[in-house]
Amino acid sequence: MDDGTLTTYLSGIAPQGSAVSPVLANLFMHYAFDTWLDREFPGIGFERYADDAVIHCRSLAQARAVLAALEARMDSVGLQLHPDKAQIVYCRDANRKGSFEHTRFTFLGYDFRERTVDGRNGLFRSFSPAVSDKAQNRMGKVVRSWRLHRWVQGEVRDLADWINPVVRGWMQYYGAFNRSALFPLLKRINAYLVRWLRGKYRRLRRSWAATFRAWWTGVDRHPRFFAHWVWMSQPARVW
């Protein structure tokens, strides 16, 4: 079983609520984790952000050895691994077809798992990241809270000025890999905008055909008016 990946989540680093605790925690983790791992397991790659880390191992035996050593190291500095998130993950793809208990993990808002991607030579199976389900749900709640379709007293420019900075930030961060995973969310935003259009202009309420003619006319004339239209201008099913 080659190219296993060990993911760890470390807890109990620093008191919460202190303005300096994140800085001190990161300095401590550099000593307790980064420099230790480089010294004890040279050549093993890893990424760490605050107390969340991913360690790349070449075999199951190596991953188990690293995990055992890491548990002892954290105990020696007064920390512990998160009991649910410290796990060995097998990175399945077109070349690694074995089976294992864990074949996916979440890191920095991305779900890493086997998925079909479109490459230069067509579709293939890859172990790759895309926006996580948790992040999708969180953004969906934000979109619902906007209640865009109720803002009929405002103009369309007001809506764009309001949501564009937020949506553009989502696209820049979560669209860095497998951007198509964001498309359902962007379609939902468009669906709310279609509802706003019908609420704003009474003449459009009599005909869905007229509504969508107005929609696509606006998209054609101003394809970058809403930040997400550069990726997705089609609305989801409008209710």
Written as six digits, the tokens of 15 are: 């008191």
In angstroms, what CA-CA distances link 182 with 33, 107, 111?
34, 17, 13
Domain that includes residue 78, residue range: 4-131
Q: Given 131, 157, 179, which residue is the final one in a domain?
A: 131
pLDDT tens-place string over residues 158-174: 999 999 999 999 999 99
Residue-level pLDDT at 5: 58
> Which DSSP string do the residues of 131-198 spell out, in sequence order?
E-HHHHHHHHHHHHHH-GGG-TTS-HHHHHHHHHHHHHHHHHHHTSS-GGGGHHHHHHHHHHHHHHHH
Clarify whether residues 126 and 216 are in a common domain: no
Q: How far apart are CA 231 and CA 53, in angstroms?
A: 31
Residue-level pLDDT at 117: 82
Q: For the chain, which residues score pLDDT lower than 50?
A: 1-2, 8-20
Residue-level pLDDT at 1: 43
Q: Does some domain include residue 235?
A: no
- Total count of domains within the chain: 2
**Residues linked to residue 111 through DSSP beta bridges, in sequence order:** 106, 130
> Which DSSP string do the residues of 36-82 spell out, in sequence order?
HHHHHSTT--EEEETTEEEEE-SBHHHHHHHHHHHHHHHHHTT-EE-
Clarify whether residues 104 and 215 are in a common domain: no
Residue 75 maps to which CATH number?
3.30.70.270
Residue-level pLDDT at 160: 97
